[in-house]
Amino acid sequence: MQRHWRIHIVMGLCAVLAASSVWAGGSPFVGRWHLNKAQSTLPPGEAAPNDFVHEISRADDSRVQWAITVVAADGRSYVETFDATASGAAHPLGNGTTVSFSLSGDTLRATFRGPAGQSDVQTCTLSPDQKQMTCRGILTGAKGPTVNYVDVYDRM
């Protein structure tokens, strides 16, 4: 069950990345990003997706739009599209999961909340050449166990 929720968290990361782009039309977060499995550190016991790509297509002061494609370890594909305001308020992601986000300088912070009280707090930054994005996360289960992880994405 926790792995299924984590797929929703990964999908939610797209929302966070898109929201971080609201500061400028030429934001470095806009574009296509691909999960770098070799450089990422997943929570213990979690299978890496076979593939994960997201594309942020619009990010301005009023609206963000993005699409993701996840191919799970079991081979099933998930495609999700999102369109949300950039107000910083919690946005529903489905199945009772929400995300809220903020941007301070070149650092993006996101907080996900799951239907059973789970949470995932992520802090994302870009490399100096803006070709790689690193998101450090803290995943807390509904009953309190905490796990750190790192998701690294390469610009496509």
* 156 residues of the chain, pLDDT tens digit each: 444 445 545 544 544 443 343 334 566 777 898 999 999 998 888 888 899 887 877 655 555 566 778 999 899 998 977 666 656 678 888 889 887 766 666 667 777 889 999 999 888 888 999 899 898 999 998 887 899 999 999 999
Cβ-contact 14, 123 below 8 angstroms: no
Q: Considering only CA atoms, give the Rg of the chain.
A: 14
Output the pTM of the full model.
0.75
If you search the block for the tokens 């470095």, which residue do you land on?
Answer: 28
Domains recognised in the chain with CATH numbers: 2-155 (2.40.128.20)
If you search the block for the tokens 């898109």, which residue do you land on?
Answer: 18
